[in-house]
Structure 1
Amino acid sequence: MNRQFFIFLLALFSWAATIAQTEEEKPLRQVLLVLEERYQIRFGFVDENIENIKVEMPSDILTLTEALFFLQTNTSLVYKQLNDRFVVVSKPTLNTVDICGRLLDINTKSPVSGVTILIGTDGVSSNEEGLFQIADVAMGEMVTIRLLGYKSFQFSAEELSVLPCKTIYLRPQEEQLQEVVVRGFITQGIDKKSDGSFLVNTDLLGILPGLVEPDVLQTIQALPGIQSIDETVSNINVRGGANDQNLVLWDGIRMYQSGHFFGLISAFNPYLAKEVTLIKNGTSAFYGDGVSSTIAIKSDDNITGNLSGGVGVNLINGDIYGSIPINEKTSIQISARRSIADMVQTPTYKQYFDRAFRDTDVLTAAGNNVVLNTDEEFSFYDFTGKLLYDISPNHRLRISLLNVVNKVDYVENAEVNGELESRTSGLVQQNQGVGLQYTFDVSQKMQFHFEGFASLYDLQAVNFDVLNEQRLQQENEVLDTGLKFDGRFQVNNILDVRAGYQFYEVGITNLEDVNNPVFRRRIKEVLRSHNAFVEAHYSSSEGRTNAILGIRSNFYQRFGKFIVEPRLSLSHRFTNDFSVQLLGEFKNQAVTQIVDFQNDFLGVENRRWVLADEVDVPIAESRQVSAGFNYQRNGFLISAEAYFKSVDGITTASQGFQNQFQSIRSAGSYDSYGMDFLINNRWSDFNAWVSYSYSKSTYDFPALAPPVFPSNLDITHTINVAASYDWNALKLSAGFNYRTGKPFTIPNPIEPIANDEINYDAPNALRLDDYMRTDISATYTFSFKNGMKLVTGASVWNILDQDNVVNTFYRVNDNNEIEEVVQTALGITPNASLRMFF
């Protein structure tokens, strides 16, 4: 009886399963008819493409987008929605995927419609439910998600080709996003904003000539009016200003060291430096210091939900970085980079080493016929880390830290009194920093922000003179700490007001210690400043007029000095294609560098930071005004800007004179005026641009004779011509750089030596030969199904091996003869890279 009952149950279950299967799987044609009625749409297809295909009926709780994605996952066909009424069903194209996603506001968790989802130059928008779907996306394509007022995101197509559709949380910008007047200034990823600043997005950055990877400080030199007179990233000159007149910030931390290889490459890992803001004029009242420019570098501020990162190597260094999720509220970012010279010395490294240490003790010691030999070792590394913690939707905490180090050691072996003597000299340059930022959103109209930072710069050198048994120890240390509190209140849709307070304390120590004869000098100075600022942002209802009017007050406690700085940024768009800008600012700075070619750090780093004392070193104060226009239409761009800048309070010690003024200490000023001009045209996958800068920069030192003469940084004409081409995974770029030579001073041709010293002719009366350089770059991307990418790259700097002289000076040798010293730029320098993104 039991056996019969068991057979009966088995037959019953088999019959039920058969009936269930028949009900679950239906011919695709029948399913499409039901969906047409359900969603009020029409399907278009070729009959043979859907024959003999069966599929389950999608649940009636699914949206149309989700239902189509369900069918696509369970059949071998592609469902492409052309509009609200029509869907095309077709066979899939090889090597493509279909992507979808759901976009929510991170604070309200509500859907965000109208978000632009870009693949190259094509895109769609999210619907009212925050959903989007794109069919037949090539694997390896990068998908950009962008909406004004929100942070932008990028995903690979593979990351968005999963079910259920990926939920993406959009985070509003911490600051109200100013209107962008020019997109793709020179290349993709560089935008010009209505406040006159330039925003570089490293995720979107196109390829530039001579760069195998996106070096952030090399990138901004591609902009008109920005250059490096000695071809380094640690000596960026903006409109006649010296490098120490640039305020460089990393996540709000002031940086006193910006380069590796003593200035030849950027000290900032470009794969964590997501945004770089360059301000030449019209600076926000939130920023102090930097009478020439502000360069604010920001790492990614978004909490990631997925592990991502990369590892790579080029002919100079290797690095690794990653963004690691901890939970929904917390993630960390880390990066580390190190030179590879101790493992392999590539031709690129040898070119960089020779350029960095040429005419220094490191290389010239071996030229002494008494020194038997030398052994040199150089290395650099950097580390950055960031903790991102969303305490709640309205409270956010960010903690950043970094450490940047350059180190060189060299051993001198010499025979002294018949015995072999050996001494090790060395130099270490490093910048450590930590910063904390806390943001509190009281409401959509009110926000408070607090930040604090500490930056420690330390330059130490020990130089042994083996023959004279002398040891010279030098140190330059800067400890900079600061606190800032500010708030923003949106009065209405066209006006918001921001105000705050900032406190700085800077202490600088300079040490010189000699053992034979015994001499020790240690000078430490501290300067504190209190700064209050307020500014109003106005944007007309139609968005054509944008204005920022600010004022910053600075009180230097040590001097009892009060300085007021007005700031102005005004732009107006007459048409969708044409806009004008007017910018102006007053700025000051109390920290500067002096250059000492006679008593420097092994000759490697001859600049040391000092504080203003209002006696020998005054506080530098600048005034600047500029006006320009932008015309952009159908990929064609014309941009021009004229400016005038005057800076008081510079010193001869800060300008690096190598003539009759080298040992004189005097204060003065410089005036600089000129214009920057750009023509950029892009069509299809080709992009080309030409930029031209005219500049005239003149010193005025009343105590010198003559008092007025050309500036050391007076580069009259600068021309850059470049082009790039993107073809699928291949990117190519080439460019030509030209500028007139810098001024220099020669000895008097009639009486070159007087009183055992060089008798110089008129200061800066002659110019070096014109500078010319041609660079090329190429990258190729291999994409994999799991979303990983392998990027290979190659570049050649100065491919024509042009012999460019960047500096010439004179000195008297041991035979009381004048010796000319010629310093040249990098020769032909190849580089290559291999990088994996995951």
Structure 2
Amino acid sequence: MPKTRLNSILLLYLILLFALFTGRAQVDTFPKNISLVSYIRQLEKDFDVKFSYIDKDLQPIIVATPKGSSLKDILNDIQNQTQLIIRKLSERYYTLSKSTTVDICAFVLDNYSENTTPGATVEVLGSSISTVTDMNGRFTLDNIPRKASIRIKHIGYKPKYVTAEDLVSKNPCTTLLFSLNYQQLDEVVVYKFLTTGLTKKTDGSITLNTEEFGILPGLLEPDVLQTVQALPGIKSIDETVSDINIRGGTNDQNLILWDDIKMYQSGHFFGLISAFNPYLTEHVTIIKDGTSAEYGDGVSGIIDMQSKNKIAGNFFGGVGINMISGDLFGQIPISNKLALQVSARRSITDLINTPTYKQFSKRAFQDTEVEGGSNPNNDADINQDEIFYFYDFTAKVLYDINEQHKARFSFININNNLDYTETALSSARTDQSNLNQTNLSFGGNLESEWTNRFSTKLTAYYSNYNLDSENRINNGQQILDQRNEVIETSIKLNTNYQLNPTLNWLNGYQFSEVGITNFTDVTQPPYESNIKGVIRTNSLYSEISYASPNKRLVARGGGRLNYLVNVKYFNEFIVEPRLNLSYSLYPNLQLEVKGEFKNQTTNQIIDLEQNFLGIEKRRWMLSNNKNDTVPGNPNLPIVKSKQGSMGINYDKGQWFVGLEGYYKEVNGISTATQGFQNQNQFNGEIGKYEVKGLEFLINHKNNLFSTWLSYAYNLNNYTFEDIVPNVFPNNLDITHTLTFASTYTYENLKIGIGINYRTGKPFTKPQEGADGIDFTTFPVSINYQEPNSSRLPDYLRADASAIYDFNISKRVKATAGASILNILNKENILNTYYRLNDQNEIVTIESVSLGFTPNVSFRISF
């Protein structure tokens, strides 16, 4: 036989032999994994038995091919793999059902190189059961509820959530992969100072953590808008939280956010108390400059408040009362994926007349009808009746769709209400006034982690602010009705991509529409004004963040492109570059360089002192860039700012020293928004202000004490080309500000005491003697000296507070506190202005600070 033919026969024989062996193997070998339902049906045919079970319980279960030849061995193997309960009813009939508890087992590996992760914490949520992984990354737990949620945590990794049913013990155990935790670069914290809970990050922003907050002089609770005033460069020259001045700017130039919703009202008691419950506010970020490109508005600064954002396994909450108000808050877990947060507060001022209320009332209502300012000489003939109260309510729904997607929905309602009736006993004349100020807002966001490096956040909100005032004079013969309404809607998308461990790329888009209505109606003489406007803004932004591997250099740079449209007046593109750089010169010495361009289109005009009962003088209006003249609608350009700063910080051990210089220029301001109370009050000139400043802070802290000294220097000047002289001091020009304070903590007792000093603000006096009144005009007016050529006396106030924590039970904790504002009872003049009385005589009006103001509080948390 030829050799080639023999080789062909041998090759054919080998192919047939391989095919026969492969076919037999396919016949004799079951698939490695098989649907349990399918396998049970096969068993029913092979062994002539019947199984009873619920389809939905078994349908998703996959098992490895059971070992054994007898039915008993096979069923034992299935039971070991699935922890199902298998009962034999007779020789032919069996039942399969799920047990209420299971034994679980898993190996925890990292998803990058699949290395073991020993020491990972494993918790059964809603119980006290927990364990840690061994050196091989393995853990086991017995008798765990089948539907229980398991949380696995380890430093450097994102928490992982699974159900116990997913980890039913197998041979081998289930393998779980941990995702590496990429933190955003600007979250690095470098300093903790002043008091616990206050930290400074590498980008220069300050973060307040309310849960860790210690104590500050004069404060009984972590009032957000009071606390920020402890920082250099942030003050309120009229002692209110609704008029916070950041580096010489007006309050309307601050962007205030609550759960990513822009707020147009921030205070109760007409600015003396913050309107935001601090006990559900998890952390607050304060930014003076070097802002991220994702923020629009706020040419002076940003206060960004975020409420608690994680679902806790157990209910927590608290109640408290002080001499102004009572409040309650809590988080209610509905399931492992769903929770509800609520908080409510209401004043007790219409029920109890406390010493604290008397001082607050005297401060808020001085020189108003409520305090008899309209009839100072006839108090005995006047019967006054006032009802004042405030409340706020918040709610938040937290829903974890899964580990990668989380949805949040927030709601807030703020209300101030004053009803006042004044009756002249001799003439039976009655004047009635009421003022209602409300803010109702709601919004939501969806946070998604698409990969370990790419995440998004979609945010939308609706915010509605209303100020309604009605004044009925002389039994209703004259009625003045004033309303101010702001409606804003916005949608925003942030995308974050971690290019590598040192680079992060932020991109986003934001659309906002804000509409503002100002309505005024007077019956005698007849007058009506109804001014409406709408501005739509489309913004694109992009930003790169870099942190060197040793964190010596941390930098962020980017920009924001805005397209603004006011249908009636303008459409404009505005480019805003942003820069934030931090460099460690030495291990404990850091250099900061920051800069930004910003704009805003909402402004607060300030009316006459007599309007709105003399206590609420601010009304929101939109920028218009208009040239026409409409009564009550002043020319308000788009406000634009540019700011740069450079600072150096030293932090070592128990010492922190910081020094920062800055320059800020804000263009497009109007005299109508600056609170002038002189010859420039009604003219509506357009100009700018420039601030050159220096901020210094030294803080020494140890386990018991924290003592600090802060100093701020400002040179803040207006420039108005149509005013003579055209350069003069800003109404908010406080040249020197000094704070010295100390806190002491011993076990459960916290004590704080501090002194605040600042130079007086500028004001304008009338001309001396007979030149002070101009009788040639109608109506008669006051002749003033050069604007802001005089200054108020220096301001000095000492405050103290003490808080004691104790346990009522293992779960219930209590806090008792006492505070005193203005211990020395010093009469500080906050403002001075002038007006003419009915006899055309100049009357001096002085606004005075809070006097000696005690307060006590008691809280329970559980």
Question: How high is the TM-score relative to the length of structure 1?
Answer: 0.80
Q: 1:105 deviation in Å?
A: 12
Cα gap change, 1:272 to 1:646, in 2 (>3 Å): same
Specify the alignment match of 1:187 in structure 2. 195
Specify the alignment match of 1:633 in structure 2. 652
| Selected match of 2:689 from 647, 670, 676 | 670
Specify the alignment match of 1:779 in structure 2. 803
| Selected match of 1:826 from 827, 841, 850 | 850
Deviation string for 1:453-475 (max 9, x for gaps)? 00000000010112671111100
How do 1:761-800 residues align onto structure 2 when only pairs under 5 Å count? 761-800=785-824
How do 1:323-402 residues align onto structure 2 when only pairs under 5 Å count? 323-363=331-371, 364-365=373-374, 367=376, 369=378, 372-402=382-412
CA contact (8 A) 1:365 1:412 kept: no
Q: 1:273 deviation in Å?
A: 1.0
Specify the alignment match of 2:69 in structure 1. none
Cα gap change, 1:195 to 1:730, in 2 (>3 Å): same
Secondary structure in structure 2 of the residue aligned to 1:780? strand
CA contact (8 A) 1:414 1:466 kept: no
Deviation string for 1:114-140 (max 9, x for gaps)? 99xxxxxxxxx9997899xxxxxxxxx
Cα gap change, 1:105 to 1:576, in 2 (>3 Å): farther
Specify the alignment match of 2:417 in structure 1. 407
CA distance in 1, matches of 2:118, 2:449: 20
2:489 corresponds to 1:481? yes
Q: 1:586 deviation in Å?
A: 0.1
CA contact (8 A) 1:366 1:373 kept: no
Q: CA RMSD in A?
A: 2.7
CA distance in 2, matches of 1:105, 1:653: 64
| Selected match of 1:437 from 441, 445, 453 | 445
CA contact (8 A) 1:365 1:374 kept: no
Structure 1: give runs of 5+ residues left out of the alignment: 1-103, 116-124, 132-144, 152-169
Deviation string for 1:59-88 (max 9, x for gaps)? xxxxxxxxxxxxxxxxxxxxxxxxxxxxxx
Specify the alignment match of 1:322 in structure 2. 330
CA distance in 2, matches of 1:726, 1:749: 55
Instruction: Return 759-768 or 516-525, whichever deviates more.
Output: 516-525
Secondary structure in structure 1 of the residue aligned to 2:754? strand
Q: Percent identity?
A: 47
Q: 1:367 deviation in Å?
A: 3.5
Amino acid across the alignment from 2:786 = A
| Selected match of 1:753 from 773, 795, 798 | 773
CA distance in 1, matches of 2:679, 2:811: 62
CA distance in 2, matches of 1:146, 1:678: 37
Specify the alignment match of 2:594 in structure 1. 583
| Selected match of 2:706 from 687, 705, 712 | 687
CA distance in 2, matches of 1:477, 1:150: 44
Q: 1:111 deviation in Å?
A: 6.8
Cα gap change, 1:171 to 1:692, in 2 (>3 Å): farther
CA contact (8 A) 2:110 2:117 kept: no
CA distance in 2, matches of 1:723, 1:185: 12
Specify the alignment match of 2:834 in structure 1. 810
Amino acid across the alignment from 1:406 = N
Cα gap change, 1:220 to 1:173, in 2 (>3 Å): farther
| Selected match of 1:456 from 454, 464, 468 | 464
Amino acid across the alignment from 2:580 = S
Amino acid across the alignment from 1:763 = P
**Greater CA radius of gyration, 1 or 2?**
2
CA distance in 1, matches of 2:288, 2:752: 27
Specify the alignment match of 2:95 in structure 1. none
Deviation string for 1:778-818 (max 9, x for gaps)? 01111244221110000000011011000001111112111
CA distance in 1, matches of 2:601, 2:411: 25
CA contact (8 A) 2:182 2:453 kept: no
CA distance in 2, matches of 1:602, 1:412: 12
CA distance in 1, matches of 2:757, 2:190: 25
CA distance in 1, matches of 2:180, 2:384: 57
CA distance in 2, matches of 1:148, 1:424: 64
Amino acid across the alignment from 2:618 = R
CA distance in 2, matches of 1:798, 1:149: 49
2:612 corresponds to 1:601? yes
Secondary structure in structure 2 of the residue aligned to 1:436? strand
Secondary structure in structure 1 of the residue aligned to 2:494? strand
2:320 corresponds to 1:312? yes
Q: 1:396 deviation in Å?
A: 0.6
CA distance in 2, matches of 1:372, 1:827: 26
How do 1:181-330 residues align onto structure 2 when only pairs under 5 Å count? 181-330=189-338
| Selected match of 2:763 from 718, 740, 744 | 744
Deviation string for 1:560-606 (max 9, x for gaps)? 20000000000012333111110000000000110011562121200
Q: 1:180 deviation in Å?
A: 3.7
How do 1:6-85 residues align onto structure 2 when only pairs under 5 Å count? none
Cα gap change, 1:354 to 1:443, in 2 (>3 Å): same
Amino acid across the alignment from 2:773 = I
Deviation string for 1:197-243 (max 9, x for gaps)? 11110111110000011111000000000000101000000111000
CA contact (8 A) 2:368 2:610 kept: no
The number of equivalent residue pairs is 695
2:526 corresponds to 1:518? yes
CA distance in 1, matches of 2:411, 2:760: 40
CA contact (8 A) 1:182 1:630 kept: no
CA distance in 2, matches of 1:705, 1:184: 47
Secondary structure in structure 2 of the residue aligned to 1:353? helix
Secondary structure in structure 1 of the residue aligned to 2:192? coil
Deviation string for 1:383-417 (max 9, x for gaps)? 0010000001111100000000000001122368x
CA contact (8 A) 1:414 1:467 kept: no
| Selected match of 2:583 from 572, 578, 588 | 572
Secondary structure in structure 2 of the residue aligned to 1:349? helix
CA distance in 1, matches of 2:186, 2:563: 30
